[in-house]
Amino acid sequence: MGFSITMLVAVVVVFGILVLVHELGHFVTAKLTGMRVDEFAIGFGPKLVSFKYGETLYSIRGIPLGGFNKIAGMEQDDKDAGERAYWAKPVWQRMIVIIAGALMNIVLAYVLIAAVLFTSGIQTPVKEAQLGNVVAQRPAAQAGLEKGDIITSIDGEKINTWNEFALKVKSADGKVLHIEYLRNGDTRTANIIPEYDKSAKQAMVGVVAATENTSVSLPQSLLLAARQVWFIIYTMVASLAGMIMGTVHADLAGPIGVAAIIGEAAQVGIQSVLNIMILLSINLGIINLLPIPALDGGHFFTLLIEAVRGKPLSPELMRRSQFIGMALLLMLMFFATAQDFSRWFG
């Protein structure tokens, strides 16, 4: 897969927005509950840009793969923040602050889906095999195919629908396909050799189907967006449960894989980038809610224990659980990154 400035910008923007929204959830709820926030940062590593407004330092750091809020008193033995410390607040307020980041990612996905539906309507593929976007430097574009072309036959076999065209391409890795198509009523021919796409795990030629658009009212878009978010959450949770139970293959993507997916979406268009952002935002929200120490869900789980016991866990036990959680996350990251290299670099 080639690389371009457009793809790099898309990766940085998508990661930046997802992290910004997540950390804003923690930041706003911490402020609303009276906690002192010493720093709000996007990214890790050295500071690139920073300024102080009120009591909070705002910064953008060099590694755009995360972010953090430095809330005073996050450690139980930190006594400097007084009554504005995190641990000085009631447990229900701390629960809100911890869970707010993940919920904001899900809210972002909902807003994006509703906005896309309201502004663009519902897009459904046309019945015939008509090309929508044609990705540059991929087999279809190299063979001279353009947006709007209608595929009529492949290797002499008549093609009536997009699904028939897609099935022919899917099973033709490395095989030359002789294609007949219509452009402005004129019949033309082209030879195309589909290429195996490692992310899709099938042969592809770099095209998407042309679509028909149906307008959607604002109330309809809000309702349909809620249904779509619920469907995505249900599907992701079911897949995650299947991976844990061993009934579903653990096909994971690390930072390299996610960046590559965003980059490929940027080659297709803004709509594809928004679709990927929606899925990643919900995914980030769900993953962060898992009851694993070092994740928001793990922190929330310890607060539930505190609410039941009437007192927090000891600082030593908290540190040990955080260490175990971080070790698990690093192992998972290593596994996902290994799959990235296997998937993208053979």
Cα torsion 130, 136, 141, 146: sign: positive
Q: Phi and psi for 202 in degrees, rounded to 5?
A: -165, 165
Q: Where are the alpha helices (DSSP H) in 171-254?
A: 218-245
For residue 281, CA distances in Å to 231, 261, 275 come to: 14, 14, 10
Alpha-carbon span 44 to 16, nearest angstrom: 12
Q: In this structure, which amino acid lies at residue 139? A: P
CA distances from 316 to 231, 312, 320 (A): 40, 11, 6
Residue 146 annotated to the active site:
no
- Contact between 301 and 317 (Cβ < 8 Å): no
The answer to whether the CB of 207 falls within 8 A of the CB of 140 is: yes
Q: For residues 159 and 162, give the distance between their C-alpha atoms in angstroms, rounded to a whole number.
A: 8
Distance CA(266)–CA(273), nearest Å, equals 6
Question: What residues pair up with 183 in beta bridges, in sequence order?
Answer: 186
186's CB contacts (< 8 A; 6+ apart) are none
Active site residues: 23
